[in-house]
Every structure is written in C-alpha cells, then in structure tokens.
Amino acid sequence: MVLRRAARARSWRPGHTRLAVTALVTLLAMGSAAALAAEPAVEATSDALRASARQAFDHDISPFVMTYCERCHGENKRKGDFTFVNALKDPFAVAYRPLWKLAITKIHAQDMPPEQAEKQPAEHERAVIATWVASLKHLSPRDPGTFVIRRLSKVEYANSLHDLFDVDPQIAKDLPDEIFGAGYTNTISPLLMEEYLLVAGAVLDQVIAPPGAPPTAAQLRLIPALPAARSGTAEAARAIAAQVARRAYRRPPTAGELDVLLKVFALADARGAPFSEAVRLMLKAVLVSPQFLFITPDAPVAAGATIVPLGDHQLAARLSYLLWATMPDDELDRLADAGTLHQPAVLAAQVRRLLADPRARALFDGFGAQWLGIDKLADKAFDERKFPQMTRELRTAMYDEARLLFDSVLRGDRSVRELIDCDYTFLNGPLAAVYGIPDAASGPQLRRVALRDANRGGILAMPAILAMTSFPNRTSPVKRGVWVLEQVLGESTPPPPPNVPPLDKQDPAKVAHLTLRQRTELHRSDAVCASCHKILDPIGFGLENFDAIGRWRTQDEAGGAVDASGELPGDQRFTSPAELKRIIAGRQDDFCRNLTGRLLAYALCRQLEGYDEVVVDQLTAAIANDGYRLQSLVMAVVTSYPFLNRRLAD
C-alpha cells in the first residue's frame, strides 16, 4: 500500500530531480564547510540537509523506485529476496543503508533494471539516485563510536608474553585459534581460562627460579633485590607488582589494583610459602587478569561527558597492537606517561617509527592476509593428484610473496596502485616454477624479481589469491570475480539465489563439449543470475589464463581454449589479464576507499556505520591528494577522529 500510494501521489519528473538534487549537493558542500565552524552552524546545516534529503526523496527517489524497481522488488514480488517496501517507509533509517547502497551498485553498473525491462532510466536519472544515497551518510551525527573492549588475540597474547617476560611466543601455541567473523571475540570460556592458567604457569616456571637456584635474567629484572628480612617482603612484593602491572596492564596500575595483587601475595605469604612462590602466585594473578587479557578503556572520565579523546596510555596500546600485535614498548610507554603521545607531531613520528620496525610485519599478518583472504592458505584443500606441487613450503612462499609486496609498498611509501599492477614480485625456487620462470630464482629464500610479462605482477595475478579463489580441483571465475569486486573495489555482491545448481551438478551430456567459460555462462539463462554474472563473469574470465594454483595456461580443465576477453560497464574491454589489471588499477579511488575503510574497521575492531562513512570519504580524499601512498593511508587511519576518540557507553 505504501508503494502504491506513493505512485499515485507523484510521477517521475526529471525537472524536479535536478532542482532537488542541486540543493542537496549545495547543502553537502555547506555541511563540509560548517564542520570547521561553530557547533550551532553544523546543527543548522544538518537540519537543512535532512529537510532537503526528504524533499529529494519525495520528489525524485520514491517515484524512481516506483517507476523502475517496484515491479520486481515491491509488495507483490521480491526477486532475489530484495524489496524496497520497508526502506520506503523509513528511508533514512541506518538499518536500510546497506540496501540502498546495494541498489545503487546495481543501478550504477546498469545491472538493474534488467536489460529486458520495459523502462530504463537515463544516465542523469541514475546519477540522481546515486547522489541521494551518497547524501545519507551526512545525516549521521559526528560520532567516533564506542571503544571496543576486546580480548587479545592468540598472536597478541603470545607476543605480549614475549615482550613482558622474554619467553618464546610458542609457549601459547596450544591455545585455540580465533574464529573472528565480523570482528574480534570477547568471550573467555571456563576451558579457555584453564588454558590461560596453564600458560601462565609455564611462563612463570621460566621466570621465577625455585628457592636455592640461580635467578634467571627475567627474574633479575623483576626482583632486583630480595628483601633483607621477612618484615620487608610486603614492600618488595608491592614494588614487583607495580613494575610488572605497569607493563602488563599497559598503563600505571591503580592503588586498588595493586591492593588486590598484594592480597594474593599475602595469602601465600601467610601460609609460610617462600617469597618467590608468593610472588609467583601474585604474577599469575596478573597474567589472568582482565587488565592484561583485554584491551580496555582508560579510567572513568568526568560525569556528563559523552565523547572524549583516548588517554595516552590507551592510544599507545591501540597503536601498538594495530601495527605490532603486541604491547607498547619503552618509548611508547615513556611518551604515554609524559602525556605527549597524542600530540600530532609526536604521534606521526611514532607511527613512522613503528612502521620502520620489523615487528610491523604484524600489520600484514593481522590485517593484510585477512583482507586478501590468504590467511587460511596453509589449510586449504587441493586435489593432490592434480596439484602435487602444493606442499607446505610452496604455500608458505605464496603467502610470503603477498606479504613482501605489501611490505615493499608500505616501507617504500609508494602508491596503493602498485598492489594491483606492478612489474616485480618476490620469488624462490618453487614459486618461480609456478610462474614458469625457473631461472629467475633458486633455493628456499624469496628475493625480488623483475617481471617481463605484463600479465603478472600485483595481487590479481598472485598465486596465493588465485589459489584461494579456486576450487580444490579447478578454477572458479565466479569466486575470482566476487573477490575482485568485494576485496579490491569494495562493491557488494548478493548471495546466489537458492535452487541454482553448481557447475558440477550440470547435465554431463549437455556440457560434455563446453569450456568452463561456456558452462559458467549457462547461469545467465536465469534472469536473476544474469544480473550478477554480467559483472562477475567477465572479471573471472579475464583471469582464466591462471589455473587453480596460479600457473599460466592457454587451455582450461576441459581442454578448451581459454578466452580471457570481456567487457565491463562503461565500454571497458579487455582481452588479457594485463588489460584487466590496468582497468582495475585505474579505479584507484574505489580501491583506496575500500582499503581505507577496511583498515579503519580493523583498527577500531568493529564494523563501520553512520558517520564512519564520512570519515572514510575525508581520509580517501586526503590520501588521493598525497599520491595514494600506502604509508599515508595508514597514517590517515591512526590519526583519524574515530581512532583518537571514543563515545562513552550509554
């Protein structure tokens, strides 16, 4: 009924569109300028923007949906389980923004309305709804979001133990791996707490020497001098507790926290335990405390505050765990204690220092590998008869090739475009064989190699990614197309509709003489499938010269000739992986925005929403003005408003 009433009330009128959207664009510009002015000006502009967005919706957007979308996505029909019914009732609700963004992706790519539809919008009409959807993020109030209290990951926990007590990080290798999903996990089960207690005990076995034994180096750091008499044990224990807790909690412990630790010490001391054993019990309490296992906010702030900057100790921890996956070092601690880390020049210098350190590899291992989807390469199944080369050593080399490219672009402060299209890579003997250039490298050590084949170079042509976007026994143009759209360009792709059989379930008699490309194209016979495959398939076909582990080929699994040609929206044609790469690399704004948003979400440990999108736009523009440099991208994220501030929980 809502849709039908809207249709009767107003028809599509492009003239109104130009006026309403022009006013909207003007207000968006005013809003950006007003953000630098007084708060009342910002609020006034926000109110005007909302009113203008409502006018544009009533005059332009609702009629557009009724004219071009309602037949398939209205009350009576919900193709692909996609409907505008509820979004039209409350068009500005945050919950419906993903729907509007997905719709815009389809409309902009000319996937929707489908080719066979009776009516097709003109280009300026598509631009109108795109502008309106882009305006929705500006209706969100300026908000850094809440600080996510999260448990240390397995890697962060192991690295922190190493930095704290100089033990081998492998001491925590038996802890269960995390299953992150959309973010980090915060729970500690009783079984996991038992594991933490066992690890803590193993750590302290190395740190606390038994009575009568020579003290270890770590013990000497913790206990510079044993108390001369039993009457002084409490004071000595407090000094040890203060020293260890300062590092373990990543901030000075409160008096109450020290009192709790001293009570644990006193419990053992009262029972006549040797001083070292009482200290051991106290330090075990440190290692299983929430202050150590979780990254937490600073101490409570003044009453009435709603948005506050991170304290310097909290900032040091957030920065260190992002770039190094471990606790702050002595220099970060010193700056945090002095209260100067938040100063822009000091913070920028520290970011550059941390990135220059070998420990910055953690940024790729934690973020880059998950972004590229190669973090599970070591465990991916492959048909051993077809691909006996996929040994553990080759998988490690594939992973390290991607890491070294990321590291090269980051440390060299070069453009993110180089991640997509470059003329070099890193190879060792086994990986050089995959590339078909066995003379380029030998032995197990990876080294930089210049590439003469323009089809190679960059993440699209990298064996690790090509392998992860394949099935165990063959390539998958669809998986590769989805990967490029989502992971590289940041576009949304809906899940496949139900009841569509996979290629392996097709009638063998009908597909016996078809190439993989022809078999995949059979999906286009279904109109619902065709809208997505129109974009996915060409990209995937453009990479079909690479087999399931990234080797070059001219024939597919069925023995048919590989056809790597295709066409993307905007009359962009290609005939090879090299030409496809250049087209994708040419969309560096989209790539930069996607990478910026993903890194910001990773740094904040939460999904982006509302005002975060405005921040990503601002950061992307600044990075573009600085040559799209990867180091500038990291710097922009760690000096951004959401990274440096937090909204207090309601």
Lowest-pLDDT range of 223-227, 310-314, 335-339: 223-227
Higher pLDDT, 495 or 367: 367
User: What tokens appear for 518 in the block?
Assistant: 């022809």
H or E stretch at 647: strand 645-647
Q: In the predicted model, what is the mean pLDDT of residues 638-649?
A: 93
Q: In the prediction, which pLDDT does 12 show?
A: 35
CA distances from 143 to 27, 57, 256, 480, 523 (A): 20, 25, 32, 36, 44
Mean pLDDT rounded to a whole number for the chain? 85
Alpha-carbon dihedral 473, 479, 483, 485, rounded to 10 degrees? 150
Residue 559 β-bridge partners: none
Instruction: Work out the widest C-alpha separation in the chain, in whole angstroms.
Output: 94
Residue 426: CB atoms within 10 A of its CB come to 20
Q: In the prediction, which pLDDT does 503 show?
A: 57
Determine whether 274 is exposed, middle or buried from the number of CB atoms within 10 Å of its CB (0-12, 13-18, 19+): middle
Q: In the prediction, which pLDDT does 191 show?
A: 87
Q: In the prediction, which pLDDT does 496 show?
A: 66
Q: In the prediction, which pLDDT does 619 show?
A: 97
Q: In the prediction, which pLDDT does 182 show?
A: 38
User: What tokens appear for 2 in the block?
Assistant: 């809502």
Query: Given pLDDT bands bounded at 50, 70 and 90, which one contains residue 183?
Result: very low
d(CA 27, CA 549): 51
d(CA 590, CA 599): 14
Contact between residue 476 and residue 520 where contact means Cβ atoms under 8 Å apart:
no
Contact between residue 106 and residue 112 where contact means Cβ atoms under 8 Å apart:
yes
CA distances from 353 to 146, 320, 630 (A): 28, 11, 15
pLDDT digits over 39-82, tens only? 444 455 567 778 888 888 888 888 888 888 888 888 878 877 78
Share of the chain above pLDDT 70, in %: 81
Length of the chain: 650
- Token pair 């550059």 is found at 352
Of the candidates 254, 244, 250, the one whose C-alpha atom is nearest the C-alpha of residue 328 is 250
Q: In the prediction, which pLDDT does 129 show?
A: 86
Q: In the prediction, which pLDDT does 60 show?
A: 86
Q: In the predicted model, what is the mean pLDDT of residues 279-296?
A: 94
Q: In the predicted model, what is the mean pLDDT of residues 337-344?
A: 96
Lowest-pLDDT range of 142-146, 290-294, 352-356, 629-633: 142-146
pLDDT digits over 77-101, tens only? 887 778 888 888 888 887 888 888 8
Q: In the predicted model, what is the mean pLDDT of residues 526-555?
A: 84
Which residue spans within 88-194 are E strands per DSSP?
150-151
Q: In the predicted model, what is the mean pLDDT of residues 176-205?
A: 78
DSSP assignment of 458-515, as one string?
A: SGGG-HHHHHHTS-SSS--HHHHHHHIIIIIT----PPPPTT---GGGS-HHHHTT--
pLDDT digits over 432-461, tens only? 999 999 999 999 999 999 999 999 999 999
For residue 11, give the 3-state DSSP assignment: coil
d(CA 234, CA 471): 63
Q: In the prediction, which pLDDT does 346 show?
A: 98
Amino acid residing at 538: P
Highest mean pLDDT among 23-32, 271-280, 387-396: 387-396
pLDDT digits over 294-336, tens only? 998 876 677 778 899 999 999 999 999 999 999 999 999 999 9
Query: Given pLDDT bands bounded at 50, 70 and 90, which one contains residue 20?
Result: low
